[in-house]
Structure 1
Amino acid sequence: MASPARIPLLPPPPPGGRRERARGALLGLAVGDALGAPAENMRPSQIRARWGRITGYVVDSPAGTDDTEYAIFSGLLLARHGSALTVAHVEAAWHQWIADLDEGPFRGAGFSERGTLENLRRGLAAPISAQHRHAWSDGLAMRAAPFGVFAAGRPAEAARLVAIDGTVSHDGEGIYGGQAVAAGVAAAMAGAPTVSVVAAALSVIPEDCWTARSLRRAVTVAHLGERAVRSAVVIGGYPWTDLAPEAVGLAFGAYAAADGDFTEAVLTAVNMGRDADTTAAVAGALAGATRGVAAIPPDWTTPIGPCRGSCLPSMKGHHVLDIADLLTPDEDVPECRIARHGVIA
């Protein structure tokens, strides 16, 4: 964790606006995930050859992927425990909601999740459960936005909590990527301008870590557009696209290039390819928190329904907007909504 002296002071979240920003962040995540999914693991040239420039959904039935389902998972966990969250709580939830149940078609999602599940099923506990070959992946970054929503205006607290969540599944750069996203969303939830959102993300991770270097390179060239951002960040010779330093850099670069505009941030992330569902989900969460739910085009939000449980069957039926409401106390939320799908008692 960075020194508290490096963490920028932020205003408290605007009165009455926290829920709208929360809904923007989590619906923005789901929209970015659904828009980016078809372009995942593709190069920009492949995207252009197939669709031209992606400007909206390119499939008939768009939906969120593991990014949305794991964000719902972390949001529900946070709604139950809040700031009292512990590694033991997270580990128990992984067992109860994922590891000890039959898996969906995604079979637990990406490399980091697969490694974590295998370790948990072997009886290994955190942090040993995170000792697998993909602890540096963007699997924590993709589910980090709920922590920024919960800790609106408190990037250090958002970073602390997401690191607790990540201890079960990630280490090193994988943790730093999640912390940068959570802190950035927390700053955006307080109405911070783009430059302060980026500063908040950088303030909670080591200055010399790979994630920080990647993020700085991306935002430095963001004014030159998506090609410059991609060239500054992507590890071209590496076959996997879920590197946390790369994905987080691309997402913040897209967000900075758009100066927080939701549509432009998400489409920039999508059209850069690589782990496009995750980069667009993160860019969507940042921009959605910055501009609020009204900034998301209605034709993009309409297809986003309750979670299908394609990856995590236990998350089926939950909607990201319900999670946003659970994590924001601006208005009373009936307690029964937390348990209506039988996941939280």
Structure 2
Amino acid sequence: MAAIACIPSAPAPEDSAGRRERARGALLGLAVGDALGAPAENMRPSEIRARWGRITGYVAEHPAGTDDTEYAILTGLLLARHGSALTPEQVGAAWHEWIADRCEGPFRGAGFSERGTLENLRRGLAAPLSAQHRHPWSDGLAMRAAPHGVFAAGRPAEAARLAAVDGSVSHDGEGIYGGQAVAAGVAAAMAGAPVVTVVAAALALVPEDSWTARSLRRAVTAAHLGERAVRSAVVVGGYPWTDLAPEAVALAFGAYAAADGDFEQAVLTAVNMGRDADTTAAVAGALAGATRGVHAIPEAWAAAIGPARGSCLPAMAGHHVLDIADLLTPGTFVLAADNDTEAPT
């Protein structure tokens, strides 16, 4: 592990009002990035330019979050229900309750890691065996990890621990590390840490010689040279699948660092690099939204985000990311948990 003593110390957590603004920025930023990036998913920069020029806003007629947003909502609801006491058994039970055991026909979204996990859960396997499939290294945990950082604001190690608990049902190895990096980075940003400290916090909570850490270091080192340099530093050339956690997480942090935390620039940099663009832009949006707060998100972008449609997870339909952010901030969490108002119907 990187020496935690060598990273700049994060500021103390802010009061509840400031934390709420950052929480809303993180989760709305995730949903905005997801919606902006979805049309460019699995595309190369040259393909993006040929179709749209440079993407500078929504290019879909009806922009909306994808599985990234809906799984992040699921994570937020889990934290509102269980908090720091979250266990792998509770995560598995929620996946059964909200996804695997529902009689709604075939699974309608997400990637290979989620499909493999659901097959294992339906066979009766539980964490960590439920994560023993062919794609435990995907960015499926990273895409849903930001709520752990929101919940554990100013406590990157706790955010990373919760992400690992959450991820044990669906991921292993580099897939876990990617989620931990995102959760730790968001937790540091939630406390008002500068970009350099956010990146250092992420690196401090994953193994130093992991693929995730190496890719992340390459990305942020190249960040001052722009998005082409970031992409060249981490993309696995010729590999057909774009949901590699080490690659996607590094692209997201590289975009965030290149923008020095500016929300609009961070998200658009991630989108225009292509690859798993909805996830990379969602993570960059969560980091920048936590850093700058909800008011840094362009109003027109924010206004387009409504309640989740349930296009991937029907049980998440009707939940808005801003409501999830409020559940995870002081003054709302205890009431929501006591009344159990957060559970999907």
Aligned to 1:126: 127
CA distance in 1, matches of 2:343, 2:189: 32
Q: Give the superposition deviation at 1:105.
A: 7.5
CA distance in 1, matches of 2:139, 2:187: 19
Aligned to 1:169: 170
Q: Give the superposition deviation at 1:196.
A: 0.3
Contact 1:10 1:153 (C-alpha < 8 Å) held by counterparts: yes
Aligned to 2:199: 198
Q: Give the superposition deviation at 1:335.
A: 3.2
Aligned to 2:276: 275
Change (3 A) 1:48 1:6: same
CA distance in 1, matches of 2:191, 2:106: 38
Q: Give the superposition deviation at 1:288.
A: 0.0
Contact 2:75 2:144 (C-alpha < 8 Å) held by counterparts: yes
Contact 1:103 1:311 (C-alpha < 8 Å) held by counterparts: no
CA distance in 2, matches of 1:12, 1:72: 26
CA distance in 1, matches of 2:337, 2:161: 28
1:181-204 deviation line (CA, Å, top 9, x unaligned): 000000000000000000000000
CA distance in 2, matches of 1:272, 1:337: 43
Q: SS of 2:99's equivalent?
A: helix
Contact 1:173 1:211 (C-alpha < 8 Å) held by counterparts: yes
Q: CA RMSD in A?
A: 1.8
Q: Give the superposition deviation at 1:86.
A: 0.5
Q: Give the superposition deviation at 1:104.
A: 7.3
Contact 1:156 1:183 (C-alpha < 8 Å) held by counterparts: yes
Amino acid aligned to 2:31:
A
Q: SS of 1:335's equivalent?
A: helix
Contact 1:144 1:182 (C-alpha < 8 Å) held by counterparts: yes
CA distance in 1, matches of 2:167, 2:83: 15
Amino acid aligned to 1:191:
G
Aligned to 2:35: 34
CA distance in 2, matches of 1:229, 1:279: 12
Aligned to 2:248: 247
CA distance in 1, matches of 2:190, 2:197: 11
Aligned to 2:57: 56
Amino acid aligned to 2:308:
C
Change (3 A) 1:63 1:105: farther
Amino acid aligned to 1:74:
T
CA distance in 2, matches of 1:93, 1:256: 35
Contact 2:7 2:197 (C-alpha < 8 Å) held by counterparts: no
- Answer yes or no: is 1:114 the counterpart of 2:89: no
Q: SS of 2:172's equivalent?
A: coil
65-74 or 331-340: bigger deviation: 331-340
- TM-score, length-normalised on structure 2? 0.96
CA distance in 2, matches of 1:87, 1:332: 21
Aligned to 1:145: 146
Contact 1:18 1:330 (C-alpha < 8 Å) held by counterparts: no
- TM-score, length-normalised on structure 1? 0.96
Q: SS of 1:221's equivalent?
A: helix
Amino acid aligned to 1:246:
E
CA distance in 2, matches of 1:104, 1:220: 46
Aligned to 1:219: 220
Count of residues paired in the alignment: 344
Aligned to 1:11: 11
Q: Give the superposition deviation at 1:343.
A: 2.0
1:81-123 deviation line (CA, Å, top 9, x unaligned): 1010011110100101110014577624111000000000011
Q: SS of 1:19's equivalent?
A: helix
CA distance in 2, matches of 1:77, 1:208: 31
Aligned to 2:293: 292
CA distance in 2, matches of 1:31, 1:176: 24
Change (3 A) 1:322 1:204: same
Change (3 A) 1:104 1:39: farther
Q: Give the superposition deviation at 1:13.
A: 1.5
Aligned to 2:188: 187
Change (3 A) 1:109 1:342: same
CA distance in 2, matches of 1:341, 1:131: 30
Contact 1:44 1:272 (C-alpha < 8 Å) held by counterparts: yes
Amino acid aligned to 1:11:
P
